[in-house]
Amino acid sequence: MIRTRRAPLAAAIGITTVVLLAGCAPGSGQRTGPTETEEITEPVTVEQVAELGDVTLRVWADAGEESMLDALVEQYEDTYDNVTVDVTIKGWDDLMGTVVNAMNGDNAPDVTNGNQGFAIMGTMVKGGMLRPIDDVIAAYGIDEGLPESGFDSMRWNDDGTQWGSGNIYGMGGATQPLGLFYNRAKLEELGLGVPDSIGEVEEALATAKAGGETPIQLGNSDQYPLGSHVLGILINMYADPAEVNEWIAGGADASFDSPGIRAALEKLAEWGEKGYFAAGYDGRSLDDAVSAYGEGDGVFFLGGSFNGSKLAAVDPDAFGYTLLRAESGEYVTTGTFGTPWHISSKSTIQPAAIAFLGMMLSPEFAQTYADSSRLPVADLEGVTATGSMHQSQLDAAQALFADGEFVGYLDWATPTMQRTLGAGAQELLGGRMSVDEFVESVQSDWSDYQTERTG
């Protein structure tokens, strides 16, 4: 006779045995396959969408897109009145944690935000979850006037194991280059001009420190953005962009151990030692740091242009933004066409999804992005800025699109890179890790993943 106390254990063992004996490895079950993709050569017409009948277009998006989507959905539903748009908004971490599984499920959203790199976009391409959108880009002329290199991070081989060439699987609406924010009033007080190169930044930092100001505002309690964005900007200054991109993309001979990257790490550690970063930055969140910077604590802030929306909301003219010239003399920065939008390969209402992206990425819609101090890819020159800070961001983005160099985000390199860089940078500045050890830990994370990826 089974004793009651043992019953749950026995049942668990029983179920485990049954599952194991069934012999099916996880992930081997049948799922809804991709629907037939009809390539388009012309923009989708209202009639084509109307033929779908009354349908619901399901959209998953990052919280940063909410205000843009509010405007877009209204305009879209007016134009395509047989479609109801159902938007699900998620915070970034939440979205990144769930989007792949959602897109893999039988009830996948038709349109979604994702992220570049192996962990999200690579997995989705590998699983055949995304509809290639080369035809959409061409039919709508979305690539007109844009630098071809910006599409690199959106292109994947068919297996989803290598990016940089192949079909385009996603496209962003607003570019988000990393750059240098400055507080106009403080620069004036300190008698400084707007720095344009890394050398000028260094001089300004020394002056700011001597003048009793916080040289760089930073909030890194999430182990971000010190090891990713701040280090990224420094790497852009000292390392060869092509080499860095090659490394991020997992090129066979690439290495993190280069003189340029070492110079960047030495510089980061030096800035830490000199006390250029706001005191207690590891105990402060990024949001709190941006708020503090908005309230006037700190001369500079290093980070993504997307932080500008919050600063512009405080005061549209108090701050400025610039890219920096690397040692090569060119503007080099980490950036892309922004957080990518994807169309599900399983969507049964692809014309409606295509029309949605077409409208979102059109020059006519660009001003809506600009109204919340964002940098629309579609019409950087034509939109009206919300103030002088936004204007300086638009100018910077234009300069970058015209003849600057895009570098990928370092954390695209491997799924674990964000932690390796984030934790490593804290240890480097805490004096618990040398530059050698940092380079070694990053490169070993990278090598492990390349072995796994290429099998």
Partner 1 sequence: MTTAPAVRAMAGRGARRARSGRPGRARSRHYLYLVPGFVLYAVFTLTPLAQTIQYSFYDWDGITEATWAGFDNYVAVVTDPVSRSTFGHSIMFIFFYTVLPTVIGLLIVAVMNRVRIRFLTVFRTVLFLPQILATVVIAVAWRWIFAQDGPINATLELLGLGALSRAWLGDFTTALPAVGLIGTWIMYGLCMVLFIGGVQKIPVELYEAARIDGAGPIREFFSVTLPGLRGEISIALVLTVTNALRNFDIVWNTTSGGPGTSTLVPSYLIYEGAFVTREVGFAAAASVVLTALILVITGAITRLLRVGADR
Cβ neighbors of 8 (< 8 A, separation 6 or more) are: none
Nearer to partner 1, 48 or 416 (CB): 416
DSSP class per residue in 336-388: -S-S-EEEBTT-S-HHHHHHHHHHHTSGGGHHHHHHTT--BSTTTTTSPPSSH
DSSP state of 399: H
Q: Does 127 bind partner 1 (CB under 8 A)?
A: yes
Interacting residues with partner 1 between 391 and 420 (CB under 8 A)? 415-416, 418-419
- Residue whose entry in the numeric block shows the structure tokens 């760089």: 216
Angle between the 241-248 and 259-273 helix axes, to the nearest 10 degrees?
A: 90
Q: Which residue lies nearer to partner 1 by CB, 221 or 362?
A: 221
Q: What are phi and psi of 375, to 5 degrees?
A: -115, 85
Using the rule CB under 8 A, is 218 a contact of partner 1?
no
CB 167 within 8 A of CB 305: no
CA 13 vs CA 6, 8, 289, 371: distances in Å: 11, 9, 50, 59
β-strand pairing of 341-343 with 111-113? antiparallel
Q: Which of 193, 275, 382, 430 binds partner 1 (CB under 8 A)?
A: 430
DSSP string, 90-120: E-HHHHHHHHHHHHHSTT--SEEE--SSIII
Binding residues among 153-192 for partner 1 as defined by CB under 8 A: none
305, 322, 392, 426: which one binds partner 1 (CB under 8 A): 426
* Minimum distance from residue 411 beta carbon to partner 1 (Å): 11
Residue 423 binds partner 1, judged by CB under 8 A: yes
Q: 224-253: which residues touch partner 1 (CB under 8 A)?
A: 224
CB of residue 119 vs partner 1: minimum separation in angstroms?
Answer: 6
Which span sits near partner 1 by CB under 8 A: 148-156, 217-225, 268-276, 368-376?
217-225
d(CA 114, CA 416): 17
Stretch that binds partner 1, among 146-154, 238-246, 258-266, 279-287 (CB under 8 A): 279-287
The correct pick among 189, 280, 364, 381 for binding partner 1 (CB under 8 A) is 280
The residue behind tokens 């029983």 is 14
Terminal-residue alpha carbon distance, the chain: 50
DSSP string covering 162-186, please?
-BSSSEE--B-SB---EEEEEEHHH
Stretch that binds partner 1, among 7-15, 79-87, 235-243, 267-275 (CB under 8 A): 7-15
User: How would you classify the pairing of strands 55-62 and 300-304?
Assistant: unpaired
| Interface region with partner 1, contact rule CB under 8 A, candidates 100-108, 198-206, 243-251, 377-385 | 100-108
Residue 353 in contact with residue 344, Cβ under 8 Å?
A: yes
- Total site size for partner 1, rule CB under 8 A: 49
Strands 178-183 and 111-113: unpaired
- If the CB atoms of residues 184 and 419 are measured against partner 1, the closer one turns out to be 419
| C-beta of 67 vs 416, nearer to partner 1 | 416
Nearer Cβ to partner 1 (214/245): 214
Residue selected from 50, 71, 89, 96 as contacting partner 1 according to rule CB under 8 A: 96
30 binds partner 1 (CB under 8 A): no
Q: What is the closest distance, in whole angstroms, from the C-beta atom of residue 16 to partner 1 in the complex?
A: 4
Q: Which of 113, 176, 220, 386 binds partner 1 (CB under 8 A)?
A: 220
Applying CB under 8 A, which of residues 88, 98, 434, 444 lies at the interface with partner 1? 98
Cα torsion for 20, 26, 30, 31, to the nearest 10°?
A: 150
259, 275, 283, 382: which one binds partner 1 (CB under 8 A): 283
Q: Is 427 in the site for partner 1 (CB under 8 A)?
A: yes
Q: Which residues are within 8 A (CB) of 207 and not within 5 positions of it... i.e. 6 or more apart? A: 190, 191, 192
Asked whether position 216 contacts partner 1 by CB under 8 A, the answer is no
Q: Is 46 in the site for partner 1 (CB under 8 A)?
A: no
| Residue 206 within binding range of partner 1, rule CB under 8 A | no
> What is the DSSP annotation of 122-142?
IHHHHTT-B---HHHHHHHTT
Judged by CB under 8 A, does residue 63 bind partner 1?
no
Question: What would the x/- binding string for partner 1 be over residues 292 to 331, using CB under 8 A?
Answer: ----------------------------------------
Q: How far is the CB of 15 from partner 1 (least distance, A)?
A: 4
How far is residue 394's CA from residue 385's CA, in Å, rounded to a whole number? 8
For 255, the 3-state DSSP assignment is coil
Residue 53 sits in the site that holds partner 1 (CB under 8 A): no
281 lines the binding site for partner 1 (CB under 8 A): yes
CB 325 within 8 A of CB 259: no
Interaction between residue 104 and partner 1 (CB under 8 A) = yes
Residues binding partner 1 (CB under 8 A): 8, 11-12, 14-16, 18-20, 25-28, 96-98, 100-101, 104, 119, 123, 126-127, 220-224, 278-285, 288, 415-416, 418-419, 422-424, 426-427, 430, 432-433
